[in-house]
């Protein structure tokens, strides 16, 4: 009987070991795919131009997955070696902490969560199992550990000075890649404005108010009520702008976007998505919203997956970018891949030259390509990282 029990326990232990070892990779391979469809030939001109670009991508979810960011992976879309292959100067890495079961673009409640199971399967620290804030702090710690272990090849960017130093370092060899932290949905604040200071101290410098469900800050484009900013949401937006955190309207409901654009004192971004004019998915911005973001001096980051551009081809990405350029100007166009965000794409970040080729094919000039591929983002992020100077106090007469 004792031998039987020991054998059973051993089988259970081995099964658990196999699950926790293999499940995270199996899950990611199923969710973050490259579709394998043919890609256009890249010209010598595109390769030469691409090598001179300062490339910035406004959104990736790579920190969510259990793999070493410094090692080249055989799954997913992004890691440091592939960022180097793609000649990326700065990557914004998002912390995604909650995602509803049955997630869809039309209507989701906030009473379920897919990510908790992933957190446990990946054997993250127990403190992250029931705390959305701790999940974000864990993502920040992962980035900082990777940067510390990278021998200078990966740098955390949290200030305008950090950004300037990154650009200076990239003038030499080997090239250095920067990473800046963002939050995908500030439900991780737990209703406490003090937690914004905690996120800021951990290095977060951009945040979207919502993800796929309504929360206590605002309505989501994919939520049940899809309302505007709540009083708490307004308080958070004001605090973010004062601290030097960039406000991201991606996933916000139409009412939420309108409310943010009305009160914004600084440039806002739509970090990842598409435009209704080329892909009529409710996830994407209509022309009025594009004009509104541009009026703040902000950015529209174009994604690479099918719901953003209604295809995964580089030409479809360029088509969406062209619409923004033609509507409001090239200075508002940016990249927002949504790599590793449970998306299927045509190419990973190592093959980012495909976007450069597509922009050439779409008739963009070299200067326009420099702006869209990262020049615009460098300008907006650099300015947005600087805390606002409070107005001078006026003494009573």
| pLDDT digits 0-9 by tens, 303-347 | 999 999 999 999 999 999 999 999 999 999 999 999 999 999 999
Q: What mean pLDDT is predicted for residues 359-387? A: 97
The model carries a pTM of 0.93
- Residue 180, beta-bridge partner list: 92
> Mean of the pLDDT values across residues 58-77?
97
Alpha helices per DSSP H over the chain: 2-31, 44-50, 80-85, 115-121, 132-148, 160-169, 194-201, 231-243, 254-263, 287-295, 306-309, 314-328, 353-361, 366-370, 376-384
Return the SS3 of 231. Answer: helix
pLDDT at 10 over 60: no
CB atoms within 10 A of CB 63: 24
Domain topology for 52-384: TIM Barrel (3.20.20)
Give me the percent of the chain exceeding a pLDDT of 70.
92
What is the model's pLDDT at position 394?
A: 42
Q: Where are the domains of the chain?
A: 52-384
H or E segment at 180?
A: strand 177-184
Say how far apart CA 383 and CA 326 lie, in whole Å.
Answer: 25
The tokens describing 232, both together, are 């708490």
State the chain's mean pLDDT as an integer.
93
Burial tier of 327 (Cβ tally within 10 Å: 0-12, 13-18, 19+): middle
Give the whole-angstrom CA distance, residue 303 versus residue 347. Answer: 12
Distance CA 311, CA 247 (A): 28
Residues 358 and 378: their CA atoms lie apart, in Å, by 22
Residues 150 and 144 sit within 8 Å (Cβ to Cβ): no
Q: Are 371 and 359 in contact (CB under 8 A)?
A: no
Strand partners, 130: none
- 299-302 and 269-273 beta bridge pairing: parallel
Provide the pLDDT for residue 299.
98
């Amino acid at each position: 009987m004792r031998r039987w029990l020991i054998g059973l326990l051993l089988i259970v232990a081995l099964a658990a070991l196999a699950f926790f070892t293999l499940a995270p990779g199996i899950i990611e391979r199923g969710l973050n795919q490259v579709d394998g469809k043919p890609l256009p030939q890249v010209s010598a001109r595109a390769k030469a131009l691409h090598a001179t670009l300062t490339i910035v991508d406004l959104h990736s979810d790579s920190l969510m997955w259990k793999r070493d960011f410094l090692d080249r992976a055989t799954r997913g879309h992004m890691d440091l070696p592939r960022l180097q292959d793609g000649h990326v100067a700065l990557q914004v890495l998002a912390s995604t902490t909650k995602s509803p079961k049955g997630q869809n673009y039309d209507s989701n409640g906030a009473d379920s969560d897919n990510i908790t199971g992933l957190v446990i399967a990946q054997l993250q620290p127990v403190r992250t199992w029931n705390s959305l804030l701790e999940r974000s702090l864990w993502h920040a710690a992962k980035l900082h550990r990777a940067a510390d272990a990278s021998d200078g090849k990966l740098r955390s960017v949290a200030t305008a000075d950090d950004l300037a130093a990154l650009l200076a370092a990239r003038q030499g060899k080997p090239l250095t890649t920067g990473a800046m932290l963002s939050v995908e949905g500030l439900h991780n604040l737990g209703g406490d404005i003090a937690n914004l200071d905690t996120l800021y101290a951990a290095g977060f410098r951009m945040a979207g108010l919502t993800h796929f469900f309504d929360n206590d800050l605002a309505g989501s484009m994919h939520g049940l009520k899809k309302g505007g900013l709540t009083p708490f949401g307004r308080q958070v937006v004001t605090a973010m702008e004062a601290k030097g955190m960039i406000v991201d309207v991606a996933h916000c409901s139409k009412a939420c976007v309108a409310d943010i654009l009305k009160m914004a004192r600084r440039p806002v971004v739509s970090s990842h998505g598409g435009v209704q004019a080329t892909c009529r998915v409710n996830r994407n911005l209509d022309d009025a919203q594009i004009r509104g973001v541009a009026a703040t001096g902000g950015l529209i980051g174009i994604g690479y997956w099918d719901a953003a551009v209604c295809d995964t081809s580089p030409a479809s990405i360029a088509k969406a970018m062209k619409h923004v350029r033609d509507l409001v100007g090239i200075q508002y166009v940016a990249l927002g891949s949504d790599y590793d965000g449970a998306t299927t794409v045509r190419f990973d970040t190592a093959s980012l030259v495909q976007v450069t080729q597509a922009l050439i094919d779409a008739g963009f000039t070299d200067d326009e390509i420099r702006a869209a591929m990262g020049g615009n983002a460098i300008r907006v992020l650099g300015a947005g990282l600087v805390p606002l100077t409070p107005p001078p106090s006026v003494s009573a007469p």
